[in-house]
Chain A
Amino acid sequence: MKVSLKWLQKYFDEPLPNAQEVADAYTFHAFEIEEAEGDLMDVKVLPNRAADCLCHRGLAKELAAILNIPLTRDPLREPLPMWDVGRPTLRIEIEDPKKCLRYMGAVVKGVQVGPSPAWLKEALERVGQRSINNLVDATNYVMLDLGQPLHAFDAHRLVERGGACSIVVRDAKDGERITILTGDEYGLTPERLLIVDGNADTPIGIAGVKGGSVAEITNATTDIIIESANFDGTSVRRTAQALKLVTDAPLRFQNRPSPELCAYGMQAMLELIQKVAGGDAVGVVDAYPNPATLSPVSTTLSRINGLLGSEFTTQEMQDVFLRLDLPCKVDGETLTVTPPFERTDLLIPEDLAEEVGRILGYDRIAPTELPPIAGTPDQARYRGIERMKDQLVEQGFTEVSTQSFAKSGDVYLANPLDATKPALRTSLDENLADALERACRIAPLVFPPGQTPKLFEVGTVFPTAGEYLELRMTEGVPAWGKDAPTVDNLSIAKLEEYGKGYELKRYTLGTYQPFSAYPFALRDIAVWAPAGSDDGCTKSLIEQEAGTLLVRCDLFDTFEKGGRVSYAFRLVFNSSDRTLTDEEVNGIMAKISATLTKKGYEIR
């Protein structure tokens, strides 16, 4: 949620602290800040608070509680007017109250569509929204201010019957079509909820997602119908995703704001329209079949402290609820909170403990170690598996880890990420063979001459009969017998006994050194060494002369003849940023040879 500090300030008489302090207040007591720059702050509102905090009012309310400074005014605590239904200029009908929890419609006549006043334009632009016209801007402003999505239809584009327009909220019919405000046309199915011109039975909007172009506000619009409604979150989310129209309104509905909010959104909208576009509200109609209610939540002082591991007092807790504007009654040890309508997240005693913990601050929770527990922790199976690995490492095997997805198998994903690997592996065989092939190619980089890679992997495989943990090796261990298997099912092996009490080998790794993506070059050099030199100093000479492109130098042969000693080295060259050319490597070798010759070596 993009928030403007200037917009937030509107809610406070006292000047807010600087942006960094505001960001810290949110971070440690409410929500993470994804990004902050100047007046703008991107607040990552948590899913359980998206019902009331995807708006400036909600975030101002949080800030007031965290910083303990009073809110100048709270639009959700102001009395609602007794709306004059007036002449029946609008009829509303909800087909399924589970999909549309509330629908308020207001007819406003005689508005003047035009550019928004500077303050409104500026306010929207500060949070990255584009100004369109005074009516559309007003709907956006109220949504960003209070969290209630709104829509405005051109009333003249709806058919009037008996002096009244009719709005019906119903499922789409199979094959029904609608053109939305962007100009795109969509074919519909019964899972899509529609706003329909009831007198003409034509769709004028996709409920909670996007308005239709048929009743679009234009510069010629004079009479409008304002919609302040509440649609089922799941239905809206699925529609928005299916039609790829995940915009501000569906984002809010899918988090299930209270339907009570509709009335406050409508109130703010009518006030704002009056201010920026004029006109007269001639009637407000409210279809609200099942008014929402929240139940009080009770907990106790010891329960909260017993969960948090804290020693907060009743007074401190009461103060937290006061700051959050959550009416709280205290009776001895018991605290009972009656959540205001917009706090749909407060349902169980643990929710109250969270409010106390985060507002007073988790830094006040002292780290405490768990007391010792009776008995030895059960790690036997784990140790059994690891003991198998230790045996193989001792026998010269290197462990690899590969991906579980495969080209084919017995079990297929309904929604593969990589279309070329839609199945789950039935064996480690294929991945291990690939890994071995690659290991052989790059072996000179990691192994001394003469050592060939031997690999193993332990991983879950998924044959039809059911998943199990497979151990697979690229070859057998001669010491274990010629016919010793190279594959094992560790899910049926009795590893608990094997692992009980086994002390695992410990390894210490240093910092990671990235390897090059470019091919390496190999060169051998054999020399007769002068008297008084040995393999170590010969190697040092080579390394000094070769420079940083030499990544490995191994002695692989030594012999004596006629009182002289011959050493043969294998040199591996590799660059981190390019493919080395033969000329370049030969040049280095020539330099090495020259230096060695100068030092009395004879190149063989």
Chain B
Amino acid sequence: MNPGRPHPLTVAIREIADIFGRMGFGIAYGPELEDEFHNFDALNVPPDHPARDMQDTFWIKDQPGKVLRTHTTAVTSRELERMAKEGRTEARVIAPGKVFRNEATDTTHEAQFYQLDGFAVGPVGTVTLAHLKGTLERFYREYLGEGVKVRFRPSFFGFTEPSVEVDAWFTAPGKEGKWLEMCGAGMLHPHDFSSVGLDPKKVAGFAFGGGIERMLMVKYGIPDTRLIHAGDIRFVYGFEKKTA
């Protein structure tokens, strides 16, 4: 019998899990139908923030306070909460999972996609922005290939301060190298800790998050993100064969 094939996203997440596993990161899960607290409040997104508007977030009929999670940072929030309960001051976790945004679809956007969120937390001073850079540089180098460099640009996210945009220098086969926007990141905002019972005077850490489909598209030259979750086996078999 011929073996079947796993979905390319499965293949990607295995590589991601392996690389982060070697840097000490575990994997965590959380609900896709999330509460407003873990998706927004705990992450310093104020009650009247535009991100909570109907045009950005899917809300649930007859269930006020429930949303389809807009980022797997909601899992980060749950994991920080668990740290507080278990009295831990150190953790490294990634959360790959499906997220939802109420936005029009095109070749680079879908209303549902997978996000890789991750964080590292430790006693104040032990996890810094420099560690974020080192961690992501190693990750992108191992995932996309040698020669990958990482740079930061200033950015803004409610749940990180400072916040940065992360670009990776990537050379696709047969093409010229260029800087590609890969994810958003930063140092976790003190609010993220205090809202779930951790003391921001004692712990600090970084967090990052970006679309997994985007990484796939960059790495394999996939032209349209909508191919990925269309339930079409031609996509699953659409990659030049290489043996493991």
A373 within 8 A of B: yes
Chain B 156-203 interface residues, beta-carbon cutoff 8 Å to A: 156, 161-165, 173, 187, 189-190
Question: A382: which of B17, B31, B163 is its contact (CB, 8 Å)?
Answer: B17
Which B residues lie within 8 Å of A448 (CB)?
A: 2
A351, closest chain B residue (CB):
B161
Within 8 A of A (CB), among B204-244: 204, 220-223, 228-244
Whether B7 lies near A507 (C-beta < 8 A) is no
Q: A309 near B162 (CB under 8 angstroms)?
A: no
Given A350-B189, A354-B154, answer yes or no on A377-B26 (Cβ-Cβ < 8 Å).
yes
Contact with A along B59-88 (1 / 0, CB 8 A): 111110000100000000000000000000
B128 touching A306, Cβ below 8 Å: yes
B11 touches A509 (CB 8 A): yes
> Contacting chain B: which of A193-201, A386-394, A558-566, A587-595?
A386-394
| Structural contact, B129 and A377, CB atoms closer than 8 A | no
- A47 surroundings in chain B (CB, below 8 A): 156
Interface string of A396-438 (1 = CB under 8 A from B): 1111111111000001111111000000100000011011001
Q: Please name the residue on chain B nearest to A431 by beta carbon.
A: B231
Most chain A CB neighbours (cut-off 10 Å) among B27, B61, B134, B231: B231
How many angstroms from the CA of A86 to the CA of B9 in the assembled complex?
Answer: 72
Contact indicator per residue, chain B 91-125, by CB within 8 Å of chain A (1) or not (0): 01000001010111000000110000000100011
Report the bound CA distance from A400 to B128 in whole Å: 39
Contact residues in A for B32 (Cβ distance below 8 Å): 404, 460, 462, 467
Of the candidates B23, B61, B155, B237, the one whose C-beta lies within 8 Å of that of A414 is B61
Q: Which residues of chain B come closer than 8 Å to A447, judged between CB atoms? A: 2
In the complex, are the beta carbons of A399 and B134 less than 8 A apart?
no
Given contacts A307-B204, A370-B135, contact A510 B129 (CB under 8 A): no
Contacting residue for B131 out of A31, A369, A379, A397, CB 8 A: A369
Question: Are A515 and B135 neighbours in the complex by a CB distance under 8 Å?
Answer: no
Complex formed: what's the CA distance from A420 to B61 in Å?
A: 16
Contacts of B221 in A (CB 8 A): 511-512
A399 in contact with B151 (CB, 8 Å): no
A35: min CB distance to chain B, Å: 15
Assuming the A-B contacts A354-B163, A370-B120, A414-B61, are A234 and B48 also in contact, with contact meaning beta carbons closer than 8 angstroms in the complex? Answer: yes
Contact B162–A357 (Cβ < 8 Å): yes
Known contacts: A400-B236, A513-B240, A514-B238. The answer to whether A379 contacts B231 by CB under 8 A is: no
- 1/0 contact string of A439-460 vs chain B (CB within 8 Å): 1001001111001011101011
Give the CA-CA distance A59 to B127 in the complex, in Å.
33
Q: Give the docked Cα–Cα distance between A459 and B92 (Å).
A: 25
Which of chain A's residues 345-402 have a Cβ closer than 8 Å to chain B?
348, 350-351, 353-354, 357-358, 362-363, 365-373, 377-379, 381-382, 386, 389-390, 392-402
The reply on A506 being an interface residue by CB < 8 A is yes
Contact of B190 with A401 in the complex, beta carbons under 8 Å: no
Judge if A48 is at the interface, Cβ distance under 8 Å. yes
Across-interface contacts of A455 in B (CB, < 8 A): 233
What's the nearest-Cβ distance from chain B to residue A382, in Å? 4
Residues of A within 8 A of B68 (CB): 413, 424
Task: Say whether B204 contacts A508, CB under 8 Å.
Answer: no
Please, which residue of chain B has its CB at the minimum distance from the CB of A308? B129
Which of B6, B27, B125, B190 interacts with A393 by CB under 8 Å? B6
A233 to B47, CA, bound (A): 13
B37 at the interface (CB under 8 A from A): no
- Which of A22-30, A174-182, A288-296 lines the interface with chain B? A22-30
**C-alpha gap A81/B134 in the complex (Å):** 53
- Bound-state Cα–Cα, A513 to B68, Å: 33
B11 to A370, Cβ gap below 8 A? Answer: no
Complex alpha-carbon distance, A266 and B137, angstroms: 50
Contact across chains for A510 and B236 when beta carbons are under 8 A apart: no
Bound state CA distance, A454 and B2, in angstroms?
11
CB-contact partner of B11 in A351, A416, A507, under 8 A: A507
- Nearest Cβ on chain B to A589's Cβ, whole angstroms: 24
Whether A42 is near chain B, meaning CB under 8 Å from some CB there, is no
> Which of B23, B153, B155, B234 contacts A445, CB < 8 Å?
B234
**For the complex, what is the distance from the CA of A512 to the CA of B221, rounded to whole Å?**
6
Known: A367-B130, A396-B2, A401-B229. A362 touches B236 (CB 8 A): no
Which A residues are CB-close (under 8 A) to B4? Answer: 392-399, 454
A462 to chain B: closest residue by CB: B33
Q: How far is the CB of B143 from chain A (nearest CB, A)?
A: 12
What residues of A have a CB within 8 angstroms of the CB of B239 in the complex? Answer: 509-513
Q: How far is the CA of A507 from the CA of B9 in the complex (A)?
A: 11
- Using A395-B1, A509-B239 as known contacts, say yes or no to A367 and B164 having CB atoms under 8 A apart: no
Chain B residues near A308: list those with CB within 8 A: 128-130, 162
**Chain A residues, CB < 8 A from B238:** 512-515
Q: Is the CB of B133 within 8 A of A365?
A: yes
Cβ B59 vs Cβ A414 within 8 A: yes
Q: Which of B1-28 contact A (CB under 8 A)?
A: 1-11, 14-15, 17-18, 20-21, 23-27
User: Contacting A400 at CB < 8 Å: which of B90, B156, B223, B231?
Assistant: B231
Asked if B233 and A377 sit within 8 Å, CB to CB, the answer is no
The complex places the Cα of A412 from the Cα of B58 at a distance, in Å, of: 10
Q: Is the CB of A29 within 8 A of B130?
A: no
- Known contacts: A29-B154, A362-B164, A377-B24. The answer to whether A402 contacts B242 by CB under 8 A is no
Contact in complex: B153, A506 (CB < 8 Å): no
Is B147 positioned at the interface, with any CB of A under 8 Å from its CB? no
CB distance from A318 to the nearest CB of B (A): 19
The yes or no answer to B138 lying at the interface (CB within 8 A) is yes
The CA of A397 and the CA of B5, in the complex, are separated in Å by 7
How long is the Cα–Cα vector from A30 to B127 in the complex, in angstroms?
24
Task: Tell me if B145 counts as interface (CB < 8 A to partner A).
Answer: no
Q: Which one of B17, B61, B130 lies within 8 Å of A368 (CB-CB)?
A: B130
Asked if A237 is at the interface of the complex by the 8 Å CB criterion, the answer is yes
Q: Is the CB of A309 within 8 A of B61?
A: no
* Cβ-based interface call for A218 (8 A): no
Tell me, yes or no, whether A603 is within 8 Å of chain B by CB.
no
Which residues of chain A have C-beta atoms less than 8 A from B133's C-beta? 309, 362, 365-368
List the 3 closest pairs (A to B, CB-CB), nearest first.
Answer: A309-B130, A510-B240, A309-B128
Q: Beyond the given A415-B55, A514-B238, please list 9 additional residue pairs across the A-B interface where CB-CB is below 8 A.
A: A308-B129, A363-B152, A366-B133, A368-B131, A378-B27, A397-B4, A402-B229, A439-B232, A446-B237
Give chain A's interface residues, CB within 8 Å of chain B: 27-32, 46-49, 233-234, 237, 241, 254, 302, 306-310, 348, 350-351, 353-354, 357-358, 362-363, 365-373, 377-379, 381-382, 386, 389-390, 392-405, 411-417, 424, 431-432, 434-435, 438-439, 442, 445-448, 451, 453-455, 457, 459-460, 462, 467, 504-515
A-B contact pairs, 11 of them (CB 8 A): A30-B154, A49-B156, A309-B129, A362-B151, A370-B23, A373-B92, A404-B32, A405-B112, A415-B55, A507-B244, A509-B220
